[in-house]
Homo-oligomer: A and B are copies of this chain.
Amino acid sequence: MTTDVTTPSAPATSPADLLAAHRDRLDQAVAACAARTFYSAFDESPSPRVYGETAAAEGKAAFDTWLGGAFPLATPGSDGTVASERSPFGFDLGVAYPRVPATDAAVDELMSAARRGMRAWRDAGPEGRTGVCLEVLARLHGRVFELANAVQHTSGQAFVMAFQAGGAHALDRALEAIAYAWTEMTRTPATALWEKPGRGEPLRMEKTFTVVPRGVALVVGCHTFPTWNSWPGLFASLVTGNPVVVKPHPGAVLPLAITVQVCREVLEECGFDPDLVTLAAEDPADRLAAVLAVRPEVRLVDFTGGTAFGDWLEANATQAVVFTEKAGVNTVVVDSTDSFRAMCQNLAFSFSLYTGQMCTAPQNVYVPAAGIATDEGHKTVAEVGAGIGAALDKLLGDDARAVELLGGVVDTGVLERLERATGHGEVLVPSRAVTHPAYADATVRTPLLVGLTEHDAEVYESECFGPVAYLIATASTDRSVALFRDTVQRRGAMTAAVYTTDERVLDDVREAALDAGVALSENLLGGVFVNQSAAYSDFHGTGANPAANASYTDGAYVASRFRVVQSRRHV
C-alpha cells in the first residue's frame, strides 16, 4: 500500500482540520501497529513514476541551494555559526548553522525559549498536536528528495538508501511513533462520569483528564542515520506536548535542520511558538549534548550513538527519562542450510549495505569448526568464508554498481578500525577501495571478512563499527548458541540471525534469543536482510540487552513522555 506522489499538505492550518486531513493515515498506522502487518504511508521508490518526472531534480536543486550558505534558522541562545559537515562523497557542505555555546547563559536562554510555548501546546490537546505533527510529516514528505540528498551527503548512504532509510522509511518510523503516542494519549477519556452505588443516592463525580508534558525533550542525533534514528523520539516527544531541542551530530546537521525548519513553519502557521522545536548545533569541541542532558528543564532524552556516552547519559541524566540506542555485537549462528549460495548472498548483502555502518549489520558469524551441512554437500569453515567471498565479489565486482550499495565511509574512525581489523585474525576476504564513478574524492570500501576462533573473545566481543565481519570457528553449534547467548547478554546486540535446517537447533537459538533479549531472523535467503526492520511490524531494538534501553516503537517508548492530570467534582 503506497501513496501516489508526495503527500499533499493540508490547506487548513487549524490543528483540528489538520488532524481531519490526515486522519485516515493515522488510523491505518494505528491499526498496523496493533496487527504488526505490512503498512507504509510513504512510497519507498524514488521512481519518477511514483513521485513525478521533476521531483528528483527539484530535490537535488533544493539541496544544492543550501551548500556554502547560512541555513535560515534562528536558535535562541545561539552565538555565531558553525559549519562542520563534509560529504563522505568528497566535498564540504559548508552550510552554516546557529551555534549554541555550552555556556549557562546560552543554555538558559534556549531552555526558557523552548518552554515558552509549552502551555499553549499542551492546551492544543492530543488532537491538535497530532494534527500538527502529521502535517509536518506530510511537508517533510514533500521535501523527501531534498532530504535524501541531505542524508546522502552527511551519512554517506548511497542515494536510493538515503531516499528510503533516510526519507520514506524514516517517515514511516515517525508516523509509527505518533500512532503509538496517539493510542497512549487517548486511552484515557477526556472526561468520565463516576457513579458509586450507596445506601441512598449514589456518589456521582465528573472527572476531567488532561495530558500534560514532562518538560523539555532533548534529541541527540547520530551521524549515520540522522533522520531515521532521530525522528521517532522527536515526534514522540513533540506530539505528547514537550518542546524539543534537537542536537544534531556535527557531521549530519542538514537533515535535522530541514526537519526543524518544517516543524517551526507548521507550528507558527498554526499559531504556536516556533521555539517549541529548536536546532542546537555545536562546535564539536563543546560537548553540548552532555551539558544539555543534565539540565533540570530537560525531562526526556533520546540518544543514538556510542555506548560510552549512552551509558553516561543513563547514569547521569537521572532527572530525565533516557532512551538510548548504543552499540552491540550482532550475531549470526550458522549451523546448516538448504541453500548455501543464497545464504552467502544474503550475508554478503548484509555486510555490504552502507559499508556495514548500520547498528543492525551482522558482525559475528559463528560456524562449527567441523563445518556445516548444505545443499551443496559438506562445507568447511574455509569454504563458508570462500562462499561469502564469492558472493561479495559478485555483488561488488562492478564499481558503479558497488557504490550504489556501499555508499561512502562516514568518518576516519571507520577507516582506522578497518585497517586495524586486518591484524585481528586471518583475512579471508580483504577489503578494497572502490573508485566512485561520479565522486572522485569519495571514500568507498568493501567489507573485510576476518577468520577467528571462539578463543578470540577479546576481538569479537567488541563492536568494530564499519565494514568488518568475523567468521568465528566454534567447537560445535551448541557452543555457537552458548556464545551467542552469553555475548549478547553482556555486550548487547540489535539483531541476530540463524541458518539451520535442524528444528532442534532452531528451537535452541530461539530460546537463546529470548534469553539474550534480541530479535531473531531465521534462514533469510531472499529479499529480506537481517539489518532491515519494517516500521509498524518489526520492533527495532528490544531494550532487553545492553545495546539499547528502548525500542522503536512500543508502549514503553511513548507512555512515559507525558502524564495525565485529573480534576474531579460532584455533579
Select one of B214, B514, B554, B565 contacting A122, CB under 8 A: B514
Binds B, one of A191-199, A227-235, A354-362, A435-443: A191-199
Kindly provide the distance from the CB of A198 to the nearest chain B CB, expressed in whole angstroms. 7
Q: Mark A322-349, 1 if CB is under 8 A from B, else 0.
A: 0000000000000000000000000000
Binding stretch for chain B, among A148-156, A416-424, A521-529? A521-529
Question: Which has the most chain B C-beta neighbours within 10 Å: A214, A524, A554?
Answer: A554
Q: Which residue of the partner chain, among B36, B565, B567, contacts A188 with CB atoms under 8 Å? A: B36
Q: Tell me which of A93-101, A446-454, A532-540 binds B.
A: A532-540
Question: Is A520 an interface residue, CB under 8 A from the partner?
Answer: yes
CB distance from A346 to the nearest CB of B (A): 11
Tell me the bound Cα distance from A544 to B205 in angstroms. Answer: 23
Which residues of chain B are near A487, meaning CB under 8 Å? Answer: none
- Which of chain B's residues have a CB closer than 8 A to the CB of A469? none
Question: What is the copy number of this chain in the assembly?
Answer: 2
Cβ distance A350 to chain B, nearest Cβ, rounded Å: 14
B527 and A198 contacting across the interface, CB-CB below 8 Å: yes
Smallest CB–CB gap between A262 and chain B, Å?
A: 28
Question: Given A192-B36, A514-B210, A570-B523, A564–B539 Cβ distance below 8 Å?
Answer: yes
Contact of A207 among B197, B513, B525, B537 (CB under 8 A): B537
Quick check: A563 and B543 within 8 Å, CB to CB?
yes
Contact of B542 with A565 in the complex, beta carbons under 8 Å: yes
Which residues of B sit under 8 angstroms from A285, Cβ to Cβ? none
| Nearest CB in chain B: distance from A187 CB, A | 6
Are A189 and B567 in contact (CB-based, < 8 A)? Answer: no
Q: What B residues does A207 contact at CB under 8 A?
A: 36, 537-538
Cβ 8 A contact of A556, one of B189, B194, B518, B559: B559
A38 touches B195 (CB 8 A): yes
CB distance A187 to B36 under 8 Å? no
Q: Is the interface of A mostly helix, strand, loop or mixed?
A: mixed
A555: Cβ under 8 A from any B Cβ: yes
Query: Which of B544, B555, B564, B569 is within 8 Å of A565, CB to CB?
Result: B544
CB-based nearest B residue for A524: B570
A34→B209 CA distance, assembly (Å): 12
Interface residue? A308 (CB, 8 A): no
Contact A37 B565 (CB under 8 A): no
- Which residues of B lie under 8 Å from residue A160 when comparing CB positions? none
Please, how many angstroms separate the alpha-carbon atoms of A560 and B322 in the complex?
A: 12
Q: Which residue, of A203, A515, A534, A555, has the highest number of chain B Cβ atoms within 10 A?
A: A555
Residue of B nearest to A183 (CB): B187
A199 to B: closest C-beta gap in Å: 10
* A428–B555 CA distance with the chains assembled, in angstroms: 50
A3 at the B interface (CB under 8 A)? no
Interface residues of A in 485-514 (CB under 8 A from B): 510, 513-514
> In the bound complex, do residue A523 and residue B563 qualify as a contact, i.e. CB atoms below 8 Å apart?
no
Cβ-neighbour of A522 out of B1, B192, B526, B569 (below 8 A): B569
Known: A38-B195, A564-B539, A567-B520. Contact between A554 and B188, CB under 8 A? yes
> Measured between C-beta atoms, what is the minimum distance from A411 to chain B in Å?
30
Tell me the A18-62 residues at the B interface (CB within 8 Å): 34-38
Using Cβ atoms and an 8 Å threshold, which residues of chain B touch A569? Answer: 521-523
A195 and B527 alpha carbons, distance in the complex (Å): 12
Bound CA span A543–B564, Å: 9
A544 CB to closest chain B CB, in angstroms? 4
Is there a chain B Cβ closer than 8 Å to A566's Cβ? Answer: yes
Is A318 on the interface with B (CB-CB < 8 A)? yes
From B36, B184, B521, contact of A189 by CB (8 A): B36
Roughly how many angstroms separate A346 CA and B55 CA in the complex, as a whole number? 68
Inside 8 A of A35's CB, which chain B residues have their CB? 189, 192
Is B38's CB under 8 angstroms from A520's CB? no
Q: How far is the CA of A383 from the CA of B193 in the complex (A)?
A: 35
Q: Which residues of B contact A566 (CB under 8 A)?
A: 519-520, 538-539
How long is the Cα–Cα vector from A318 to B197 in the complex, in angstroms?
Answer: 45
Cα distance A543–B517 in the bound complex, in angstroms: 29
Asked if A394 CB lies within 8 Å of chain B CBs, one says no
Q: A22 CA to B86 CA in the complex, in Å? A: 62
Judged by a CB distance under 8 angstroms, whether A315 is at the interface is yes
Q: Could you mark each residue 131-162 of chain A with 1 if its beta carbon is under 8 Å from any beta carbon of chain B, else 0?
A: 00000000000000000000000000000000
Q: A567 to B513, Cβ gap below 8 A?
A: yes
Report the Cα distance A559→B181, complex, angstroms.
13
Q: 19 A-B pairs, CB-CB below 8 angstroms?
A: A36-B188, A36-B209, A37-B193, A38-B196, A38-B197, A122-B514, A192-B537, A194-B534, A203-B528, A314-B318, A510-B567, A513-B565, A519-B565, A522-B568, A539-B566, A542-B565, A544-B565, A551-B564, A560-B560
Pick the 3 closest A-B CB pairs, nearest first. A36-B192, A555-B559, A544-B563
